[in-house]
Chain A
Amino acid sequence: MIKVENVIKNYGSVEALKGVSFEVEKGQLYGLIGPDGSGKTSLFRILTSLLIPTGGKASVKGFDTVKDYKSIRKIVGYMPEHFSLYMDLTVEENLQFFATVFNTTVEENYHLIEDIYKMLEPFKDRRAGALSGGMKQKLALSCALIHKPDVLLLDEPTTGVDPVSRKEFWDMLRKLKDTGLTTLVSTPFMDDAELCDEVALIQNGNILTIDTPANVAAKYPHKLWKVETENNYKTLKALDNFEEKISAFSFGHSVHLATNDNVPEKAIREHLLKSNIKVDKIEPIKASIEDVFMELMR
C-alpha cells in the first residue's frame, strides 16, 4: 500500500533521509519509531506529496508521490505533527470544512468517525482552539478520516498528549485497523511501538531495523538485567568499570544492564556492593523495543 524505495532528502548540506526503504501492506498498522530529528516528518511530507525527494521514489496505493500528487491527495488522510485545523472555527465547522473540501459530506462518512466523534460531540460548538490536547487530537483524526481515505498518515499524533488520551488514541487506531484501513504512524515513544503490527526503527535518516515488535525485541543479543538501587547515577558510575558490562542505561527508577551471557547475578551485586551501593533488586528481564533501540544506536 505504501512503498518507499531508497528515498533521500537533503536540505542544503543537511541529509535528512539517507536512503530509506520500507513497505507497508494493506491493512497494516505500521509504526515509524525514532527520536526527534530522525527524519520522520520529512518522510511524511514526501508521502503526502508536500516535499519532493532528492533521490529515490515513494508511492501510495501505486500512485507516485511526485507524478501522481493529485491522486495521492484524494486517498490520503494526513495528520501533521502540529495541530493544523482552524482554531477559530468550531469542532463541527472544521469537520464540515474538510468534508466539503474533499467533495463529500459529514453524513456520508459519519460511520467512519462515529466512535471518535461521539466523544467530541458534547463540544461540537466549541472552537477548536479551546479544546484540550487530547480532544484536538481526536478532532484532527476525525478530519483526516472524514473523506474515507485509503491510507492514514499520522505524524507523531501522541506527542504532547496525556497518557490516558494516548491510550484511547491507540485503541482507536486498532479499531480503525479492524476496518481494513492502512495506517502509517510515527512516534518517539517506544511503548507505542508495541501496539503496531510492524515497526521500522529510524535514526539519523537511516532505517535501523524492520520487523514485528515481538521479533524486534527478540533480536536483542545480550543478557539483560534490571538493577534497582538507591541511586541510578551512582550505579551507572560504578558499572563503568564492571568488566562484564556491555551497556547500561537509566530506565526510569532502574538501570538496564546488558552483560555477557554467563554472568551470574551475584557478580553484579558484589561489584555494586564494592562501590558502597545499596542494591534493592537485580533481576533478569526480557528486552523491550526501547532496549533494542538503545542497542542499535550504540
Chain B
Amino acid sequence: MQRIIYIVQKEFKQIFRNRMMKPMLFIMPFVQLAVLSYTADFTVKDIRIYVQDQDMSPLSAKLTSKIKASDNFTLKDVSYTYDEGFNKIQDNEIDVILSIPEHFSRNLNANRKTELFITADAINSTKAGISINYLQNIIHDFQIEEAQSKGLIEIKPGINTIKRDWYNPGLDYKFFMVPGILVLLVTMLALFLSGMNIVREKEVGTIEQLNVTPIRKYQFIIGKLLPFLIIGVFEFTVGLAVALLWFKVPFLGSVGVIYMFTIVYLILVLGIGMFISTITDTQQQALFLAWFFSVIFILMSGLFTPIESMPQWAQDLTLLNPIRYYVEVIRLVMLKGSSFASIKVNFLVITLSAIIINMLAIRNYKKTA
C-alpha cells in the first residue's frame, strides 16, 4: 500500500514538473469546452439567398420580403436572370437560389398549380438540406397566409400538429452539445495521459531499473492509474461547473450518479491507455494508437451524428464504444434527470469493460526486458 502511495506521489511530482503539463491540464480543456461549445452548432444561420424573380409582381415581392424578414436568410440580391445567381454560387457569394417563374402571381390567384425552383450549393450537404427545408417552410407558410387572406381556401378541419420539445424546450443546441463535449474532453485527457505514461518510462529507460525491484505489477498499474483518475475527476468537475454556470445547462439528475459513472468510465479509459502503453515501445507508436481509437470512438459516439442514422453494422459497432455509453448517460442524467435504474445497463457495460481492460493491461505489462 505504501508503495502505491509513493508511486502516486512520484507521478504527481513528475506531472507537475513537466513544463507543458500544467497548461495542458488547466488551459486546453477550457479552450476546448468554450470554443467547441460555441462552434459545434447545427443550426444554420445567415444563409445567403438570391431570388430570381421573373414574375415581378406584388405577390413575388411579398414572398421575397418574407424571406428577407426571416432570421435564417440574408437576401443578397434580386434579379431577373438565373445565370447571374448561378455565377454567384460558383463564386461562393451565395448559398441558395429561389427562382420565381413568370405568371407565378397569375397562376396562384387563379388557383392554378405553380412551381418554384430552388438551387442550393450542396458542397456542404447538411447545410444545403437544412437551407432547403427552411425555405420550404417559409413558402408553405406564405401559401397558407395568401390562401387564407384571399379566402380562396378555407382551413380544412383536420390534423393540426402542435409541437413540444421535452427536456430541451428551446431546442438549444448547447444543452445537447456541452455535456457531450465535456465527455470528449475527459476522455481525450485520460486516454492520452495514460497512453503516453508507461511507454515513456520504457523510452527513457527507467523501466529497466524499476523492473528489477520487487514492485508488483498491480501496484505499478494502480500507482500509475490513480493520479490520472484524480486529475480526470478534477477536470470533469471544473468542466461541469463551466457547463452549469456559464452555459446554464440544466442539471436535473443526481450528482452522485454522474460521479459514480464518471469514475468507472475514467478507470476504463485509463485502462485502455495503459494497455496501449504496454503494447508499444515508443511514445510515437502510442500516440498513433491513441489517436486511432479516439477518432473512431468520437465519430461513432453519437456526439455529432445520431447513432440511429448510422447503418446497422455501424450501430452494432457502437456497442463496443465506451464514449457512446458515457454520452448517453451524461445527457440522460443532466437533461432528463434519469435515475440510476435507467442507466443501469450502461453502468454494467462500462464496469465490466473497465475490469477486463485493466486486467489485460496488468497481464500485458511484462517485468522483463
- A positions within 8 Å CB-CB of B: 45, 48-52, 70, 73-74, 76, 78, 80, 82-89, 93, 96-98, 100-103, 127, 143
In the complex, what distance in Å separates the CA atom of A43 from the CA atom of B128? 69
For B369, the chain A residues whose CB sits under 8 A away are 45, 50-51
In the complex, what distance in Å separates the CA atom of A85 from the CA atom of B204? 9
For B212, the chain A residues whose CB sits under 8 A away are 48-50, 73, 76, 78
Partner of B213 from the list A52, A73, A89 (CB cut-off 8 Å) is A73
Tell me whether B13 and A98 are in contact (CB under 8 A). no
Given contacts A50-B369, A84-B207, A127-B17, list 17 more A-B pairs with CB under 8 A.
A45-B369, A52-B368, A73-B214, A80-B209, A82-B205, A84-B204, A84-B205, A84-B209, A86-B10, A87-B204, A88-B14, A89-B13, A89-B14, A93-B13, A97-B10, A101-B6, A101-B210
Tell me whether A78 and B209 are in contact (CB under 8 A). yes
Tell me whether A74 and B368 are in contact (CB under 8 A). no
With A93-B10, A97-B6 already in contact, the answer to whether A74 and B214 are too (CB < 8 A) is yes
Partner of B205 from the list A74, A78, A83, A93 (CB cut-off 8 Å) is A83
Q: In B1-20, which residues have CB < 8 Å from any A CB?
A: 2-3, 6, 10, 13-14, 17-18
The 5 A-B residue pairs whose C-beta atoms are closest, nearest first, are A50-B369, A84-B205, A100-B6, A84-B209, A78-B212
For B6, the chain A residues whose CB sits under 8 A away are 96-97, 100-101
Tell me whether A103 and B214 are in contact (CB under 8 A). yes
In the complex, what distance in Å separates the CA atom of A45 from the CA atom of B212? 10
Tell me whether B208 and A49 are in contact (CB under 8 A). no
Q: In B318-369, which residues have CB < 8 Å from any A CB?
A: 367-369
For A78, the chain B residues whose CB sits under 8 A away are 209, 212
Shortest beta-carbon distance from B288 to chain A in Å: 25
Tell me whether A101 and B215 are in contact (CB under 8 A). yes
Shortest beta-carbon distance from A97 to chain B in Å: 6
For A97, the chain B residues whose CB sits under 8 A away are 6, 10
In the complex, what distance in Å separates the CA atom of A48 from the CA atom of B204? 19
Partner of A80 from the list B2, B18, B205 (CB cut-off 8 Å) is B205
In the complex, what distance in Å separates the CA atom of A143 from the CA atom of B212? 12
29 cross-chain CB contacts under 8 A: A48-B212, A49-B212, A49-B368, A50-B368, A52-B368, A73-B212, A73-B213, A73-B214, A74-B214, A78-B212, A80-B209, A83-B205, A84-B204, A84-B205, A84-B206, A84-B209, A85-B206, A86-B10, A88-B13, A88-B14, A97-B6, A97-B10, A100-B2, A100-B6, A101-B3, A101-B210, A101-B213, A101-B214, A102-B214
Partner of B3 from the list A76, A96, A100 (CB cut-off 8 Å) is A100
For B3, the chain A residues whose CB sits under 8 A away are 100-101, 103
Shortest beta-carbon distance from A185 to chain B in Å: 16
Shortest beta-carbon distance from A14 to chain B in Å: 15
For B367, the chain A residues whose CB sits under 8 A away are 50
Q: In B84-111, which residues have CB < 8 Å from any A CB?
A: none
Shortest beta-carbon distance from A296 to chain B in Å: 29
In the complex, what distance in Å separates the CA atom of A100 from the CA atom of B368? 21
**Which residue of chain B lies nearest to A72 when distances are taken between CB atoms in the complex?**
B212
Interface centre among B6, B205, B206, B209, by most chain A C-beta atoms within 10 angstroms, is: B209
For A73, the chain B residues whose CB sits under 8 A away are 212-214
With A73-B213, A97-B10 already in contact, the answer to whether A84 and B368 are too (CB < 8 A) is no
For A51, the chain B residues whose CB sits under 8 A away are 368-369
In the complex, what distance in Å separates the CA atom of A50 from the CA atom of B10? 24
**Which residue of chain A lies nearest to B14 when distances are taken between CB atoms in the complex?**
A88
Flag whether B285 is at the interface (Cβ < 8 A).
no
Partner of A103 from the list B2, B10, B13, B17 (CB cut-off 8 Å) is B2
In the complex, what distance in Å separates the CA atom of A70 from the CA atom of B13? 29
**Which residue of chain A lies nearest to B369 when distances are taken between CB atoms in the complex?**
A50
**Which residue of chain A lies nearest to B10 when distances are taken between CB atoms in the complex?**
A97
Interface centre among B2, B14, B211, by most chain A C-beta atoms within 10 angstroms, is: B211
For B206, the chain A residues whose CB sits under 8 A away are 84-86
In the complex, what distance in Å separates the CA atom of A83 from the CA atom of B17? 20
In the complex, what distance in Å separates the CA atom of A97 from the CA atom of B209? 12
In the complex, what distance in Å separates the CA atom of A50 from the CA atom of B215? 14
Shortest beta-carbon distance from B330 to chain A in Å: 35
With A45-B369, A74-B214 already in contact, the answer to whether A88 and B17 are too (CB < 8 A) is yes
Tell me whether A84 and B208 are in contact (CB under 8 A). yes
Tell me whether B14 and A70 are in contact (CB under 8 A). no
Tell me whether A50 and B208 are in contact (CB under 8 A). yes
For A101, the chain B residues whose CB sits under 8 A away are 3, 6, 210, 213-215
For B204, the chain A residues whose CB sits under 8 A away are 84, 87
